[in-house]
Each structure stands twice: as structure tokens, then as C-alpha cells.
Amino acid sequence: MRPVAPPSSFGVTHPLDMVTAQEITAARRILVESGDLTETTRVPRILPVEPAKDLVLGHVDGADDFDRSLRVTLLETDSGAVREAVVSVTEGVVLDRRDVPTGTHPYGQPQYLFEEYERASEIVMADRRWQAAMARRGITDTSHSLVAPLAPGYFPHEGYAGHRMIRSLTFHRRYDGDNPWAHPVAGLIALVDLTAGEVVELTDEGEVPVPSGDWHYTPDHVGEPRTSLKPLEITQPEGPSFRVEGSLVRWENWTMRVGFNAQEGLVLNQISFRDGQEDRSVIYRASVPEMVVPYGDTDVTRYWISYFDAGEYLLGKNANSLKLGCDCLGVIHYFDAVVADDHGNPMPIPHAVCMHEEDYGILWKHTEVGEQPQVRRSRRLVLSYFATVGNYDYGFFWYFYLDGSIQMETKATGIVFVGAGEPGTENRHAPEIAPGILAPVHQHIFCARLDMAVDGLANSVEEEELVGIPIGPENPHGNAFTWRRTPLRSETARDADSEAGRRWYVTSTGRRNGVGKPTAYQLTPMAGPRLMAQPGSSAARRATFAQHHLWATPFDAAERFPAGEFPNQHAGDGLGTWVEAGRSIEDTDVVLWHTFGPTHIPRPEDWPVMPVDYSGFWLKPHGFLDSNPALDVPDWSQARHHGGDHQCSCGH
């Protein structure tokens, strides 16, 4: 049956294209007409329904006969009831509806609406107890104060499971344009029932004065910029090396499709590497669908904090519009994105994703005595986006290299979350980073989802470790060591070990390389601390993915978010539960989940705005190719650009 509205009528030419404004508008209209969306209904989240892999892999360019559906979360603001609807915009119908049992264990609430932040602030500032608490601190003019609404975690002893709750801390902005984060109001916290519209609990333990120091980072306060840095210009007079056709990107040997959605942000689909005349698949789908930020402070205003910035706040919905010369340098291609606002209308994010090329130093080099030295410069394709969630800003950068390697890097910056204390305070959970300003220890634990497809969907997983050999018959001189590969036969969680050089391989079960081994890609992890919250804690139950560096599971379309669909106020779901099934990961469609990120003990140099903190991992071909694929990279020497020969020359 032909669609009522074919995908092309919505500006879509491929099943994996980003959601368009026309599709969101159509989905909203269908829901209104079906009675599913009324004046009191809000839309916390709209996500594309991922098309089946066989449909995508069998898609023929130009075909206009595939379905485009959206999964829409519906919140009734008057009752707090939550439903999910699957809407086919091509067929013009609601395909499915289900109630979300937010009042039943293990509970869970939809992501927060933008309007709820303002509403929570209004509720708190109208509360007489909050006003009295501020007055007790000598603050009677609260017109510029910032009430920061934050996800409340899950603590069943509080008795509000099933209610739509939010906690609010207070920061005092003394005047318009003041930096509110520099003036935390210690010991004051409000627990707000958003459905009832009231503060159900206000805690005031504050005897600490509100810090009054001036801490600013904007040019109007910092003063004239330094003049010692000279301009650095990046030019590509012949244009970039990449080509873009809709969502399809081609750069050197790489091909991929660029996607974006409200929760995960940037998604890369069908990543392949060209080997001779063949585009060989590497990854079917790659994203960073979740991150948790657990705090290690026992203070009443912080012990409950373990934000899920994707699952509670929506990273993609909070994406920045990037600017040339600021966020990206060089010859840039931008991808615009569209998400839904709180009412289910399209909300465009212009320039949500930046793509450009960067020089990356030496790719390979050798100097042979008596012969002309050979050196080639490395270059990488960069796809990135930034999301701002409250006080923190997060950059997500995917790098593709000429040698077939892929790097994923996150950049954490923004303003560290702070509290107040008496100047000179020693606090084992929160170092003093400025007089009277304490910044609690915390972690930023990201989780990448890598739906692998190394030479097809039939893959297996192996773990490699370096092995020392005791002095003896097998190691008579004591210098020998070797390695050990162990197949991971069923879904599992594993941890990095820097001493053993532990790495993981996704191998093809149907293709061999030139030396007769299965073709493979290697995951080199970031071996940082795992979740520091103790087993049995609320944070540990809710963020099971952060307890291990690697999880390997068979593909399941329902397993998309490592902390589950609705981690907000949820008792715990996701990877820790899924792997209990013990499913096989041999010769099957395999998904790797890699957790990584910094554990942050704040320092004075992080204040009042934090320099970027980097973290990430690498994926490298390991027997995927039969030789160095970058032998034919040209010698772009300076001499060539000045009329000389094609060889590098140092001028001696």
C-alpha cells in the first residue's frame, strides 16, 4: 500500500534522514485530530522510530516507499498521566499507544519540559518559607535570584514516587548580568511537586553567609584581551575534501550518514571505509546516548545529585547553534537539526552539527640513509556538537582519520557546580576553589553505544591482554612477553586494565584478512575510574552502566538507552538488567557500550569558568585491512605551494 504522504513530501530521501519540521508538524496534527493531544498536554520528547535494519540495508536510492514514524511522549499536566504514541506520518495514523506506569515500581518520569524550569522557579519564589529563608540571610530583593531546578534522583523513603518532582537550589544574582553561580545559597533546598504546583518540603540548614565576591568571565568584566596572540588563519583555497549529499557524507575513504535527535544529539549511521573498490562496513550506528554526573558530597543540597543529562534533560534538545570562528575553524559544513518544543511544535536548531577538516600532525614518516625522507601529514574529519545543560557545557567530537581510525572525544567545560562555606573551610568532599566557594567532587561518566558491523552484521567479541612470562624455559632471558585473546561468548560487563593493556576486538565471522585472520576493529578504552558511588546506593542502582567500562550485548531494537527509557525518578533500569539474560554474542549482531569520562576534583583554575576537560576512546582497524591504507596520501609540502618540487625540504 502506498503511503498517504510519501517521505519525499516531508523533505526526506532516506530512511535514516533526520526528523524534519514538516514531520513534527504532521505528527502533532495527527495527535490533535485523534484526541491524544489537547490544550493541557505537553510533549517532553519526540524521537524517530528507528527503521528496521533489513529495510535500511535494502533501501534503493530514489525509492519513496518506506515508513517514517515518530515516538511521542505525552504528559497530561493536569493529572500527571503519561502516555507514549507511535505516529506514522507517512500513513497519517497513530499506530500504537501505551500508558507509562509512572506510579508503579520501578516508576520513572519523562524528561523535563523547558517550561517546567520556569514554573518550578515561580513556585519556589512564591513560597513564604523560601522568602523567609532568603530574608534571614539578609536578601530581601530576590528579583534577580536564580532558582536552579534539578532532577531529584530516586529516594523511595521520601514518599513521592509516581509524582512529577524536582528539587531546586538557589543562587543569588545581585543584579542583572551578575554571575549567579558565584553566590550559592548554602543549605536551602526546595522539593517541588510540579503536578500539584507546590513546594512540598523546604529544607533550610544555612548558617553560612552567601559569598559576595565578584567572579566574572565575560569581556565587559575581564577587561581588554591580551594582544600577544597573533591571528591564526586556516584556509582551504580549493575547498574541503568532503562531499555532502543530504545526510550522506563522503570524505576520503569514509562514508557515513549524519543523524540527530532530541535525546542523543549527534548520531552517525552506516559508517564504512573504502578498501580498493569496496565500501566495507565498520559501524551501523554510533552515538553517546547517556551520561551521568554523580556527586560525592554528603551535604543535604548535594547527596542526591546524579544527573542523567540525556535521559532527564535531553542533550539534543539543549544543543547550541554553533558559530564560525568560535566553535569551529576552517571551511565548515553545518547540519541544521529540528527537535520538538514542549507543545510538540518544531523547534529548529540552526547549525547544530559542525563538520570540517583539521591538520593532525604527522601521519607517517621514515628517513632512510642516503635516500629522500618520506613524510605525510595526517588529517581528520571532525563532526561535532555542543549541548548546554544548566551550568555545564559538553562538546561531543567524532574524528575520522586517514588510516582508518575513529576517535570519540568529549569536552566538558562551563561552570563547576558550587556551594558555600566559611573561608578556609576544609571539606573532604568539596575543596575550596575560591574564598568561601566550595566545589564538590563529582564524575562525568559518558556511555557510547556502538552498534558494530565489521564487514557485516555477523560479529563476535574478543578480549586481549598482555601477558608476562616468568623466567624459565619459556623465557630464559626474562625479556619475553606475549598476548592472550579470550572470546566473550555471552553478553557481559568488563573493565579496563591499564597494566594488562586490556582492549576489545569486534571480529567478523565471515571474512578473513591477508594473513588468514578474521577482520577486526579494536576498541582502546579510556581506563579511568568507574562509578565511585557504593553498591546499593541510589546512584549505583540507577546508573548500572557506569559500574563497568565495557558492556557487550546482542542487538535489540528496544535497548537504546543504557539507563533505560525514563531514568528520571526511576529506581533503576538498563544495561545491568539486560545482561542478566545471558544472551549469546557470538556470530551475531553485536553492540558495544563503552563508559568513560573524567572524575573531577575541582581546582582554583577551574573557576570562574572551567577550561575544557577531555576524555574519550579510539576505534582502530586491526587486521581489517591488509596494509597501511594511507600510503597514497599526497605530500602537501610547503615547497609545493611556493613553486618548488613535491618533496618536503627543511632548507639545510
* Res. 1 pLDDT band, cuts 50 70 90: very low
Residue 23, classed as helix, strand or coil, is helix
DSSP string over 553-614: EE--TT--STT-S--EEES--SHHHHGGG--B-SSB-EEEEEEE--EE---GGG-SSEEEEE
- 404 DSSP 8-state letter: S
* Res. 360 pLDDT band, cuts 50 70 90: very high
* pTM for this prediction: 0.96
Q: According to the model, what pLDDT value does residue 597 have? A: 98
Q: According to the model, what pLDDT value does residue 130 have? A: 98
Judge whether residue 508 has pLDDT over 70: yes
Distance CA 47, CA 19 (A): 8
Distance CA 408, CA 397 (A): 6
Residue 257, classed as helix, strand or coil, is strand
Helical axes 114-125 vs 128-136, angle rounded to 10°: 70
Distance CA 126, CA 134 (A): 12
Residue 51, classed as helix, strand or coil, is coil
Q: Which residues pair with 509 in a beta bridge?
A: none
Q: According to the model, what pLDDT value does residue 649 have? A: 46
Q: According to the model, what pLDDT value does residue 651 have? A: 40
pLDDT tens-place string over residues 157-199: 899 988 999 999 999 999 999 999 999 999 999 999 999 999 9
For residues 350-379, give the mean pLDDT: 96
Q: Which residues pair with 505 in a beta bridge?
A: 462, 522
Distance CA 310, CA 432 (A): 29
For residues 355-380, give the mean pLDDT: 96
pLDDT tens-place string over residues 310-349: 999 999 999 999 998 889 989 999 999 999 999 999 999 9
Of the chain, the percentage scoring pLDDT greater than 90 comes to 93
Cis peptide upstream of residue 106 (ω within 30 degrees of 0)? yes
Judge whether residue 639 has pLDDT over 80: no
Burial of 51 (0-12, 13-18, 19+ CB in 10 A): middle
Question: Long-range CB contacts (< 8 A, 24+ apart) of 112-115?
Answer: 112/44, 112/149, 112/151, 112/166, 112/312, 112/313, 112/568, 113/42, 113/44, 113/75, 113/342, 114/317, 114/341, 114/342, 115/42, 115/342
For residues 43-59, give the mean pLDDT: 98
pLDDT tens-place string over residues 573-622: 999 999 999 999 999 999 999 999 999 999 999 999 999 999 999 999 99
For residues 626-649, give the mean pLDDT: 70
Q: According to the model, what pLDDT value does residue 425 have? A: 87
For residues 632-639, give the mean pLDDT: 76
Distance CA 191, CA 228 (A): 50
In this structure, what C-alpha cell is assigned to residue 305?
A: 545529585
Q: According to the model, what pLDDT value does residue 162 have? A: 87
pLDDT tens-place string over residues 83-115: 999 999 999 999 999 999 999 999 999 999 999
Judge whether residue 3 has pLDDT over 80: no
pLDDT tens-place string over residues 210-231: 999 999 999 999 999 999 999 8
Of residues 386, 422, 379, the one with CA closest to residue 402:
379
Judge whether residue 642 has pLDDT over 50: no
- Catalytic machinery residues: 309, 392
Judge whether residue 646 has pLDDT over 70: no
Q: According to the model, what pLDDT value does residue 652 have? A: 33
In this structure, what C-alpha cell is assigned to residue 161?
A: 514516587
For residues 69-96, give the mean pLDDT: 97
For residue 501, the tally of other CB atoms under 10 A from its CB is: 14
Q: According to the model, what pLDDT value does residue 161 have? A: 86
pLDDT tens-place string over residues 431-443: 999 999 999 999 9
Beta strands in 242-371 (DSSP E): 243-245, 248-251, 254-261, 265-275, 278-294, 306-308, 333-340, 346-366
Q: According to the model, what pLDDT value does residue 647 have? A: 52
Is 410 in contact with 393 (CB distance < 8 Å)?
A: no
